[in-house]
Structure formats: structure tokens, C-alpha cells
Structure 1
Amino acid sequence: MDLSYSAEETAFRDEVRAFLEAELPKELSEKVRRGKPLSKQEMERWHAILNERGWLAQNWPKSFGGAEWNAVQRHIFDEEAALHHAPRIVPFGLSMLGPVLQKFGSKEQQEHWLPRILSGEDWWCQGYSEPGAGSDLASLKTRAVRDGDHYVVNGQKTWTTLGQHANMIFCLVRTDPEAKPQEGISFLLIDMSTPGVEVRPIVLLDGGAEVNEVFFDDVRVPVENLVGEENKGWTYAKYLLTHERTGIAGVGFSLAGIAAVKRVARAEMSGGRPLIENPHFAARLAKVEIDLMAMATTNLRIVSSAAAGQAPGVESSMLKVKGTVIRQEINDLARRAAGVYAMPFTSEALEGSNAPLPDPHEAGPVAAQYFNNRKISIYGGSNEIQRGIIAKTVLGG
């Protein structure tokens, strides 16, 4: 992407490239490039490599063990990591819970939980959405009733990404059913090995089960696991969601996706010429590239503001909408570029078989990625809801 960088930033990019080329395990990079699912152990391996280098918690202050990178450094790393097909950094502990604890958690909570996020001792998942309380999150029903030194939690969470790997879950729970919806919610940290917690997989269209239902049946949670004040959880939830929605923009993923589309389009033929020379296809590709450049610039500006202590507001909703629309457009271009090679929807293409794929571009996972990424315009607050937030905030009403 043709953005202007200083000599210092260019040197940092060179440092990141050298690190990725030397330290990113080739077998992990190859699985990511081919669209294969990674195991928990493989994700933890990359987590540990980054942590050893001190590059895991990129947006954390150094006082909490983070890299304390500025917005441009984070943008450069995300871009290079995507182009080198590095595994994504699982965001729930690092990018979501971590900032909440640093801003609202007690000193004891910070000292206990933050080092465990970095070491990988705890794998966190997010307990927000419920049946009937997704984009309308304030209508959640999961209850937490104070009983001495514990809260007793009953209810259900759904669409819990990678919950099958997690040992901890941060949850929004209703602690005052008589209050207005947003005013009776608290933010709890729950050990998933506690009696009464049950995780059930949700099988998706591609046959995978990266999301889950989590059930709570009289689960006892120590009071010291309450973050901040009781009934103030909505404030903490909104703060977390602004970080999540900014991350969902996925600039790095989109850059890597465009590079892959171009690679396939140069090889595939259309009317006796490479597909990339087809005027209609080239125009769609150019439009999405221009949109991505504009979004990348906006993302840098917003992340810079956040680094200066300003929590992103409606801007994070704008990034979420635009970022997911761009990624879905790239997925569609990839599917069209692969043509008939995107049609197979086989376990061999998706589940890591060593059997050769039926095309020279390894397009087997294209269909799975296309279908799986239909969700990104829904999770983190659907795009329809985000457009409503944007309209209300900017236009009033």
C-alpha cells in the first residue's frame, strides 16, 4: 500500500520483515496461506514466539509488559504479518480484556491477570452475545445474584469464538433486573472449569466449530472477579467493543487477500487473456484497493487517537462497516477469480489433507473463506446496527 513512511518507520518495517522471515515457522505460514485451520497448539506456538520477542501485546503500555507501539508501527506489523501469512493473534485476552483491565481493573486484577495473558497461561473467550441478545446486547438475560463472597451465575452465551480452547471467559451479566437495561449489567471474569459451566460446539456451514454455546448453571464466581463497579459493566463493554470493532476492520487481512486475488487473476485466463486484464474484473479490483487505502489511512488516524488516550467512538463503527464490506468484496473477487476451482467444498481442501488440490492455485479453501466471512458483517455488532449508531451520533436524533 503506497503510504508515505519516515526513515525510522521504514527501518522498523525492515526489522519486522527480518523477524518474520527468521522466526515465523514455515509450516504455520503454509497452513495459513492455504486457508487450513490451525490447532490450539499452533496458535499458542506463535503467541509464545511473539511474547518472547516482546511483540505480543503491541498496544499495551510497557509498564504492563507491552510493546507500546504507536499506530504506524502496529499498522506496519499487521500488514507484514498478513503478507507473510502469519497466524492471527487471538484477540480476546490481548486486545479486548487487556485494555479493559488496564483502564478499569483493580491493581490486584492487573497484577494477576495481565501477566497470565502474556504467558499464555490463560486463554480467554468473550461472553457477550446470547440467544435474543446479539446486536441488542443490552437485552441480555444471564443473571448473577450476589451470595456472600460469590456471585451465582445462570444463563447462556452463544457464538463464543474459540470457547472450546478457553479456560477463562469474560462475561456481561445482569446484576440488577429492575434497572434500565444498560444500567443493571456487570462485567465478570469466570473460570470455565467451575462446576456448572458447559460448552457445546456450533457446527458451521464449512463443517468447522470455531464458535460455541456456553451454559451457566448455578456457577459460583468469586466477588473479586468483578471488574470495576457492580452495574457499571455496560460502560466497560462499550469501551471493549470500540477496540473490537476497530480490529475487525482487518486492514492486514484485506491486503493479503488482495495479493492472493492478484496472484490467481494473473494465472487464470478469460477470453484468451489473463483475468487481471479483464476490464470489468480490473475495475472491481481497483475500486476495492482504493477503498482499502482510504480505510487504512482512517484506521491509522483513529488508532493514533486511541493511543493518545481517546477511546474511539462512532469512528470505530465506521471502520467496522467499511472494513467488513471490503473483506467480503475481496472474498467474492477471490471466488470469481478461482472460477471452477472454487467449487469444490471438500474435507481434503479444508481439513489439512496432504492430497493435492485439483488446481494450480490451491483455491480449495476459497469457498469456505467466502461463506465463513459472511459472518464478519454481523459479529461485533451487525453493520445495520452500526449504521444506526453512525446516523444517530453524527446526524442526531
Structure 2
Amino acid sequence: MSAYIQETATTWCETTDSDMHFSVRSVHDMMGSKPFVAAAMSLASRQRDAVQGRRRHLTLELYQYTIRLLLGQDPTKPDASILATCTILCAYEMMASSVSEWRRHLRGCAELLRMCKWNGNSEGIVKSCFWAFARIDVWAAFILNQTTLIPTDSWVNQDSLVLVAAAGETDDYCNLAILIFARIINVLNDKGGARRQSQTKLRDNVQNLWDELQLWRRWRLPSVKPLMRIDQSDKSPFPTIMFALSSSICGNTFYHAGSILLLQSGLVNPDPSPEMAKALSPHWHAGELGGISISNPSHANWVNHLQPLYIAGTALDAVPKKALSGQWRPVDAGTAEEADDPTDMDFAAEKVALLRHLAKIERETGWKTKERARDLRVLWGLEN
């Protein structure tokens, strides 16, 4: 259980839960549930196997034992411990299975949430479970080009940026960035809806989401803004962007990832004002994503950064690739004039740094990044 408390509980489930229900606030109550304890041990065992590069039969036995315990529960009397157990198993499936497989497990979790009318404003560990589920759900929808299992209109009771910001709760405000991102995914992936609505309506929906996302950034609480920011230098192709809270890392990550997707849709009507110049650049958002992830060694967020870093990589696609085959070295003042194109070198540096960071995430957390890294190499023309 020590591995669960130290790593896996916070690795996924408490990313935007400052009260730390999975590892501190509610864990004593949850320990009275045999399915929860078994799920916690199976996830911790799976994560340890991944980090150590081995496969123990014990891990599978723990998982199967958890499933048997769950099947023995009365389905008409679900409680928070069962939801927490299912949430942990969703994280387990993400580490062990393909996205189509672990989304099937998500469906059971979604049905339980809907049946009990739980959402992102519920109390205690249920709230933590919902947002852990939501993050998994939205990335599954992104990967599969589908919509979220639970419609976003039921995610929260209050989605007004002004009112939530006025309440001053960092977690709640950052969770709204996840909600807006989910709406972006649903609008861009709603194939049936796209056929029913005109291009003008689709453009209006995208523009409204863009405006809302930019307002989210403008109205951020002080606790959601970076604690420190240093522009990129010859030592690093990405800026240094440090945050004090895990929630803040998460919220800003979803902001930048969502901005890239909306800009790549080609449906955003650009605001010509000078203060919006950076926000209209997918490359700027990509640099911010790289800087946020590398600057904050937060395993809780690193496992949530695989897809955002891939999205960042897609924003680096339309750049020269000739410098990418070798290792990047900083260009100092004495050699800068000898470079073919400093911009080319900068983009090459960003790509190499991104791939190295993805490898580091897998090495330290056990979460698989190799496939997405390969997708980027193929996208950039480095691999067939």
C-alpha cells in the first residue's frame, strides 16, 4: 500500500484534488472496502512492474481478485468506495490495455456516475473520482475521435467562469479548463452533429469555445498563474514555467492543448489585438506545453501530459526536419552565424527535447509513451 499512497493515488486520481481524498482525506474510510484495497494494490503493482520493466503474475491475480470482489457487490447499493474502486481500475486499464479496451471499463464507471447523479460538484472522494474519470474519458474520446461518454452539460452545476473565479477555489477553476476542453473534443468529433449543422453553426460553436478558453486564461486566479516564468534560452528550447499547485499545472495544460486544437481546425476568427498575438500561434502554445511539463516534475500531471505533448508535437509539424537526425546542441553567439537557419535549429531542439521528455515520463512513471513518440517521429518524417 505504500506504493499506492506515494505514487499511484496521486499519479492520476488527485491531479485536481488538493484535499487528496485518495491518499489522505478519505483513504481511512476507503480501507474498510475490500474491493478498494484490492484495486489500490493491483494498480500499485502494475505501476511498479512498468517502472521495473517486468510482468509479475501477482499483478494480474490482484486485478482479477478485485473484479471478483466487485461482482459480489449489490449493484442496487453503490457507494463512494465502489466508485473509487472503479476509478482506480480505469487507471489500471489505461496502463495495461489499448484505448478501446479501457474505454469499455470507462462505460461502467460512467453508468455508475449517471445512476447516482454524481458529477463534478459532488462532495468528497466522489468529486475526485469524477474528475479523474473525466480526464480519462476526454483523452479516450480524443484518441478515438469520438465524444465523451457523459455529455458535458451535466458535468457541473455551475460553469460560469466569473462565478467560479469569484468563489476562489483553485481546483474548481482548473476543472473548468478540463470541461471546456471536453466540449472542444465533442464539437470537433461530433460527426453526426457536424452533418446536421451548417458550416456557419460549426464555426460559431468553435469561436464560442475559443472565446471561452481565452477568458479562462484572462480570469485565472493568482494561484492558477505561473509562480515563475523564464523565456527559453540557449540552455533549453522551452521556457521555464513553474507552478505551485498540481491543479494549476493541469488547468493550464488543458488550456494550451485546447487552443492548439481549435487553431488547427481553421475555424477560429483571429482577434487582431496585440495582446492576442501569442495566443493565435499554435507554436507558442506548443512551447508553453513543453515548458510546463518539463519544468514541473509532477508525476500526477506527467501521466496526464502524454496526449497534450503529442498535440504540442503536431504544432511543430510544418517546420524543416533536416536538423532532427542528430542531437541538439545549444547554438552560442560564436556559431550562430554558421547555422543554416536559427529558426530551423530552434524547432529541431524542441522536437528532440519533446521526445526525450516523453521517454523520461515513461522511465519514471511507467506510463507508456513510446507509441505517441513514434507517432510524432512519423509525423515529422523521421520514421516510416
Which TM-score tier does this pair reach, normalised by the shorter chain?
Answer: under 0.3
With the length of structure 2 as denominator, give the TM-score of the two structures.
0.25
- Structure with greater helix share of residues: 2
With the length of structure 1 as denominator, give the TM-score of the two structures.
0.25
